[in-house]
Structure 1
Amino acid sequence: MALSLCVLSLLFLFDGVHGYSSGPPDNVCVSMAPSTIAAPNGHGAAPQTGPSPFNVTHNVENGTAYTGQRYQIEITSSASSSFKGFMCQVRNISDNTDTKAWGEFEDFPTPKAKNLACTSPKGAVVHNNPTAVNSLRATWTAPSTVADSTFQLYCTVVQERVTYWVKLEATSDPFRLVAAPTTPVATTEAPTTGNVTRTTGDATPTTPIQATPKSGSTSNVACTLLVIMTLLFCMLRI
């Protein structure tokens, strides 16, 4: 009996440590907060409330995210700090009752990260092992439908089991979600350069120009008539 209890205790302890090291359970999707109960099932301490050595950012520009577009999120730390665990979601901050995770996370450059099914199969990104790192990047894809709300990125970051910060808000600006712009249709009309004269209505008819006889031809005709008249006059005198 004593041996059986010992084995069960060891299995329970291993399961608790494994659950912490390989990512949080899906029952923390709403709160994004680790359990404060004692180890091995919890962190055994309340979250930190003071300044954090970690910085959470995203690259959504001008406060506008477009549906279906991809954006980069990042957790960074000071040179002397590292973190072992994390959990990130994008939340609707216009409605405090909205606890959904918006969009999807993907393209993790290291085995440190994996998805957690919060609202959707890829609604959150969490740690996959307890390796300490100084930074973490991932890609967030905005939802495919427009929502008339303001959104922000939040991350819970665990430095050590008893030292963690819950829902650190990104230092990047909150953003709206709008429809992605469509590509303008190219016009087929060639641009006009310079001055163009357009003719409207019927063309004005031109008056035919009469040919003007050459002065040389007129003189020849007069001379011929004069010669003929002179010959006739001479014949009549004879």
Structure 2
Amino acid sequence: MLKFVVLCSLLVLGVRASPGGAPLSACNSMSPIHGGSAQTGPAPYTVTATAIDGQTFEVSIVADAGVTFRGFFIQGRSVDTDNAVGSFAAAADAKSIDCFSNLESASTQIDNTDKSSVSVIWTAPASGEAVNVVATVVQTLNTFWVKIPATVVY
């Protein structure tokens, strides 16, 4: 009986892992810290960065038909330093966090409800440095893809 109670407690804690978004400790690797290994096959998600103007982009994650996701973590990462750069605006279903001491340099979910898409606004750094926009997408607790590159649309 005790083993059953411990197992149930662990399952409840596992399901509750990071429901309010990625923690700062995930900034470097962009990997969820709730267990499992990143998927190596093609992701059933498309990540795009569509230019609004010369420095502002709408970054979207869209699931393939019939697929959902529960979590995400988006960064614009400097090609030179691999640090998160630029800033994300607040959104109804996302919040910004400060990675590498850069204000609002990452965006993550505010809850772990099923989603088929999400869009956030990212402003590139004024320096004009080369940046790759990447996203980690969490389908379930142990099924996730790390650093999916965005297709840039101008």
Cα shift at 1:144:
2.5
Q: Which has the higher contact order (CA 8 A, sep 6+)?
A: 2
CA contact (8 A) 1:59 1:172 kept: yes
Counterparts of 1:122 and 1:100 in 2: how far apart (Å)? 13
Task: Tell me the secondary structure at the aligned position of residue 172 of structure 1.
Answer: strand
Match of residue 136 from structure 1: 118
Cα shift at 1:14:
6.3
Residues 187-202 of structure 1: matches in 2 within 5 Å?
A: none
Cα shift at 1:151:
1.4
Question: Identity of paired residues, percent?
Answer: 33
Match of residue 52 from structure 1: 43
After superposition, give the CA deviation of every residue in 1:8-55 in whole Å (9 maximum; x if it has no partner).
x96x876665442111210110110113xxxxxx22x21100011100
Q: Select 2:144's aligned residue among 124, 146, 164.
A: 164
Task: Tell me the secondary structure at the aligned position of residue 139 of structure 2.
Answer: strand
Stretches of structure 1 that go unaligned for 5 or more consecutive residues are 1-5, 36-41, 176-238
Q: Select 1:100's aligned residue among 55, 67, 83.
A: 83
Residue 55 of structure 1 aligns with an amino acid whose one-letter code is T
Q: Select 1:113's aligned residue among 74, 87, 94.
A: 94
Deviation above 2 Å: which 4+ runs of structure 1?
12-19, 144-147
Match of residue 82 from structure 1: 68
Match of residue 33 from structure 1: 31
Closer, same or farther: CA 114–15 of 1 in aligned 2, 3 Å: farther
After superposition, give the CA deviation of every residue in 1:77-135 in whole Å (9 maximum; x if it has no partner).
11210100000000122x3xx13111000141x2x311121132300000111100100
Task: Tell me the secondary structure at the aligned position of residue 21 of structure 1.
Answer: coil
Residue 31 of structure 1 aligns with an amino acid whose one-letter code is S
Number of residues paired by the alignment? 148
After superposition, give the CA deviation of every residue in 1:49-73 in whole Å (9 maximum; x if it has no partner).
0011100001138xxx74xx32211
Higher strand proportion, which one? 2
TM-score by length of 1: 0.56
Residue 103 of structure 2 aligns with an amino acid whose one-letter code is P
After superposition, give the CA deviation of every residue in 1:115-170 in whole Å (9 maximum; x if it has no partner).
121132300000111100100001001223333xx212100000111110000001
Match of residue 109 from structure 2: 127
CA contact (8 A) 1:58 1:71 kept: yes
After superposition, give the CA deviation of every residue in 1:152-202 in whole Å (9 maximum; x if it has no partner).
2100000111110000001226x9xxxxxxxxxxxxxxxxxxxxxxxxxxx
Closer, same or farther: CA 128–88 of 1 in aligned 2, 3 Å: same
TM-score by length of 2: 0.83
Stretches of structure 2 that go unaligned for 5 or more consecutive residues are none
Match of residue 145 from structure 1: 127
